[in-house]
Amino acid sequence: LTRVLFDRRLRIPPSARLFSTIGAGPVIIVTTPETIADSPERARALEEAGAELEPITTGDLPEAFARLAARQIVSLVLEGGVALQAAAWKAGLVDAVHLYIAPVTLGAGGVRWLDLDTVSMASLADRRVTQIGPDVFMEGHVHRID
């Protein structure tokens, strides 16, 4: 199990519970060389906690994914905020979508996942929808698997 964090500003604290599980597999933090240069103490503290820092120069996901592939990481479950999800989608890096929908209204302050014109469940191949109590789980492949 390799955990990969996309953290340009090295905001995760070295005391995070994640680092107590280093024995289960490496923790890689994708960041930038500038952040490491600007916060050398923080970078060193994260490395002492067990993190492996992976600085990417362009700051974009295709470079990050290429660097991870060079480490023999060829499959990721991408969990994260809307900015990370949208960037991965727009860069063409998403192969499958697993989406849980709960009947909860977020209100005016809620953050949208992706714009409907960016991704449509109807455009996915091998779509499946499963009712789980009041929630719905939807999944499908972005690229057709022949």
Tell me the DSSP string of 56-119: -SS--HHHHHHHHHHTT---------HHHHHHHHHTT---EEEEEE-S----TTPPPSS-TTT-
| Whether the predicted pLDDT of 146 surpasses 70 | no
- pTM beyond 0.95: the answer is no
- Other residues' Cβ atoms within 10 Å of the Cβ of residue 90: 13
Q: What is the mean pLDDT of the chain?
A: 89
> Collapsing DSSP states into helix, strand and coil, what is residue 42?
helix
Tens of pLDDT, residue by residue over 85-136, are 888 888 889 999 888 888 887 778 777 766 655 677 788 899 999 999 999 9
> Collapsing DSSP states into helix, strand and coil, what is residue 1?
coil
- Whose tokens are 């900015």? That residue is 83
